[in-house]
Structure 1
Amino acid sequence: REGEGLRIFWDRLREPSFTSRWNPFATDYPYITFTYHPVRNIDDTFTALCDIQNFREKLKDAAQKAHVTKPVPGKANGVLVLNQPIHIDTYVGAMSFLGNQNKLGYSMARGNIGI
């Protein structure tokens, strides 16, 4: 899906291991990715709530304040913001099949609510 997103790393831009990528229950993932909600333009309140740019700025400010108040010894305490494309892999496997069959995916219809 085209659009804007935000990826937050907490482990020096490390890529996940092969087993972590295929394990839906992995707990050692080095980042999290946010993107706009598909129906963010439904009303003005929801649009403001889903604003990634605002979220990014507030998160950056909060991280900088945290580094100032409680620096990590022996680490470069700061926030690195990169503007670059985000690559998102799509996987095929038993858990993906199960999630799609049971309508558990991110953009699936939920009863009377859905796209």
Structure 2
Amino acid sequence: MQHAYKYVLIAIYFVAIFIVLVRGNKFDSSKKTFFRLVLAVLVGWGLLLFYRVIIDFIDVQLAETQAQIEGIYAGDGAKNLYTLFYGWIPSLILVVLYWVSARGWLYFFRNKKILED
């Protein structure tokens, strides 16, 4: 079932990973950056696990018919198991994209000052 609250959860997911990895990180220490990378993946994975539980709960509350409730519970175990085992993969992909973007951004602005001189 499509509900607007799911878009808010997606936005929170993207912002939370960004804050953990990029916010305040100068990327001057590879150990700190690696720690932040691992932490961001874990935060993203944890959020996905939390979202699996909360989405089922909210969707059941918003269901209008018994058929919708049965549809929610029909594939519940497989979705939960998939998120548990493979939920870290989308988080890792997003973290790598953020890391590459942030490194490129910093490289561009650090070298822009050198090129202007």
What TM-score does the superposition give when structure 2 sets the normalisation length?
0.32
* Structure ranking higher in strand proportion: 1
Larger Rg: 2
TM-score (norm 1): 0.32
